[in-house]
Structures are given as C-alpha cells and as structure tokens.
Structure 1
C-alpha cells in the first residue's frame, strides 16, 4: 500500500510540474523544490523524483545552484514518415516504454475484415499497448496485425517494436500508411488506462499500413494525450 500511495504522489507531482511546463515558455525557471513541497504538501524525495523523471524525459534541465528550467520541447512527430513509437521516441530524445495490456489472436469479424481487406475469419493478432514517457502514459494503441506479418511474435518483440519485427524477422518491406486524425473525448476505460480525467481531450488517429507489395498488414486506433503529443506533416500544393 505504501508503494502505491507513493507512486500516486509521484504521478501527481509530475502532473503538476507538467502543467507549469505546458503553460510557460522554454527557459522559464520552475518553482524551487521547497516551493513545490509547500504547495503540494509532499516530501522532498517525492518532488526530487518527479523532477528527475522530467529531466530524463527531456522536459526540463537543471543548472547547478540555480534550479530547474523548462527545456525547448518543440519537437513534433513527423507524420510524413512511418516510424515505430520506439524510433520516434529516440528521435525526440525522450525515455519511452511500452506496456502490453493485451495480446491475443482473434478471427477477423466483418468490420476488421473490411478494414484489413481480408477474408472474414482470417487470423488477426490483436494488441492493446500503453505507451509511456518515463512513467507517464502518453498514448494507447488498439492494433490488429495480419498473421503473415507477425506470426510467432513474442511479447518482448511487441514491447520493443512490431515494425522492426516485421522488417528484421519476417523480412517484409513496409510501404505506406494512411492516417486519419480527429479530436475526441475518452471512454471511461480509455481514460483510466491513460490515467487522465474523463473529460480530457485526446487526439484519435486511425492508421492503415501496407507492405510495399500492397498488402494491408495493420489497422490501429491510437488515443494520444493531447498535452504530451505534437504532430507535423508537410503539404504540397498540386500544380
């Protein structure tokens, strides 16, 4: 129970500091540890743990004898390229991890068969994955992958990168993706898994991915916590 209570305090401290980060320009000095302790009524180790986590994630930096400052985090996920969550996190310089909430094989129903362009009843590998920056959930993925792309995949491979498994183990070439984006509010189950308020807005992304030979191998619905995610793409006007 003590560990659970302490983890909850750590999360609350990180969330409070993140609210300051998101509402202030880069270079702003954060309140001192003492000020944060007094405001939140938390111990110094709890505050230090929260600050250290956010330093590790790249959101803030420390200057000796001066304090902690907000880093320039105007990095965006580039939607013009197909990248795994792990690859994107490495490019953005954040410490990321993936939790497998569910991994199972199911037959494609009418809806999934239509999305995956396959026969009803085709085996699909279904994953629910929670993506984290340090210990903070930032995205939740509900994914269907075709059997030919991920058969025999292990949990540790799915935690690392399913795309790398497809390319390096299955020796298949990933070709292209179509992504649809809209704003949404979370269902209670999704809000609970992301550890956010039930009225906090999310970015919903629907992704269809194909191999170079045109076969659809993935259908994913992602729920991204808007305050932790930025996306960019390049548009070209047709001549």
Structure 2
C-alpha cells in the first residue's frame, strides 16, 4: 500500500517510491522494473496509476523502455561542476568512469563565419576539425567537435586521438592553456546525432560551446559538445550573500 491519508495523488506517491529505490541503490542502472501486475499487487493501485507513474519517470530520465522487453532503470546522470576548465574526457576520468573515445572525423575544412570569428582566422584560412563519440560504460554520452587553426590541428594527428586528452596534448606541444569562455544551451538531436548517440530523433541535448585561450589571450580551440540530456547535467554550488552587503563593502 501507499501512504495512507496522503493528499498526494497515487501516481505521484508511486513515483516517489520508485525514485527513492533508484537513488538508494535498491534498483540499479540497467535493472528491470517489476512488471505491472507485480506493482499492482505490491502497492494496491490500478494499472492506469502505474502507467502514469512510469510514463513520467521515463520522461524525466529515471527509466527507459525496451520494446518487447520491459522498463529498465536508466544509467545514473553524470554531474559536473561548472568552474573548471577541462576537456570532456578529463572531466569524466576524474570520477573513475570507464571512458572510451571513437574518432569519426579528422579533416581540414572551410571555416564557417562563426568558427572563423571564434578562432580569429583570416578570410580564407581553413580550420581543422576533430570529432569524437564519447562513451561511458559502453553507452554513448556525447559528441565532441573540436576546431583548431590548421597548423595546430595537424600536429594532433600524431597523437592517439581515441585515447589521448586533447588539452594534455596541446600542453605537451608547449601551448599554455589558461582560460575559457563557455555557453550552455538546450538542443534537439538531429537524425545524424540521434544515430550516433543511440537516442530518438529530437531527444533533448545539452549543448556546450567553448572557446579556449592560451596565456597570450589567443584562441587555440573552439569546441562544441552535445550531451544526451538524460545522462548528463551540470551542477553549480551557490552561496547566499546578505542583500546590500556587497554595496556596504565598496
């Protein structure tokens, strides 16, 4: 039975219980959720209530469905702080995650006006693109596109781009990375992106665009990372400053 006397709708109560079992580790990522009949018997609710609860948990990214197989606990979302200047794989490696990278593009190409502006390139100067799929626990997490001035990008071809960290390689070549400017927005997976990330067309994506600079202030790489919205999120720690205190300290 659910909580007696609670004013919460039954489907919300059931949602809370399933979410608590997931966060407490009683239901682990990849584990099948009990069938509808078992949930009906355990909690004394209708099939309609169960389907509404499960449907919302799927939409919120706690569960996922496999056609003909059932409903399963989704992989735990990866949380990252915003304040550090690190590459995608550097961030994930810090958590001891099983990170793999697969290169699917290394080529010189004509720079778009936006990329040319971000890298301060001359009008006809080409850009070098390195694009990789980042997987964690054998599940696609992110598409990582990196654009470099041609002369810099060509140097990285000597590295093993399926293993080596791009920022680390740049520093080995003597480029002292110092600052970055990053923008985060929402997006939807295109047909090609959905295929690479193994998600549905128009699935929500977290889009992270970043310009990275060396000590002289010149840009060295412009990157765009597309994260599956159901598997990745950023976390910001906030501190309360009493209203008016900053003004009084001036």
Q: Could you tell me the TM-score, scaled by structure 2's length?
A: 0.64
Q: Which has the higher helix share?
A: 1
Residue 22 of structure 1 contacts residue 227 of structure 1 at CA under 8 Å; is this kept in 2? no
Give the Cα separation in 2 of the matches to 1:195 and 1:163. Answer: 27
What does residue 166 of structure 1 align with? 170
Which residue of 91, 105, 109 maps to 2:108? 105
Deviation digits for residues 98-151 of structure 1 (CA, Å, limit 9, x no counterpart): 110100122434332112122122232101211000211000022211234343
What does residue 195 of structure 2 align with? 192
Q: Structure 2: which 5+ runs fail to align?
A: 1-17, 37-72
Q: Structure 1: which 5+ runs fail to align?
A: 1-19, 40-69
Mapping for residues 173-188 of structure 1, pairs under 5 Å: 173-188=176-191
Give the Cα separation in 2 of the matches to 1:158 and 1:207. Answer: 19
Give the Cα separation in 2 of the matches to 1:157 and 1:225. Answer: 25
Which residue of 129, 135, 140 maps to 1:137? 140
Q: CA RMSD in A?
A: 3.3
| Inter-CA distance 88–22: structure 2 relative to 1 (3 Å threshold) | farther
| Inter-CA distance 157–163: structure 2 relative to 1 (3 Å threshold) | farther
Over 4 Å off, 4+ runs: 20-23, 30-33, 234-238
Q: Could you tell me the TM-score, scaled by structure 1's length?
A: 0.67
Residue 223 of structure 1 pairs with residue 226 of structure 2: yes
| Inter-CA distance 157–212: structure 2 relative to 1 (3 Å threshold) | farther
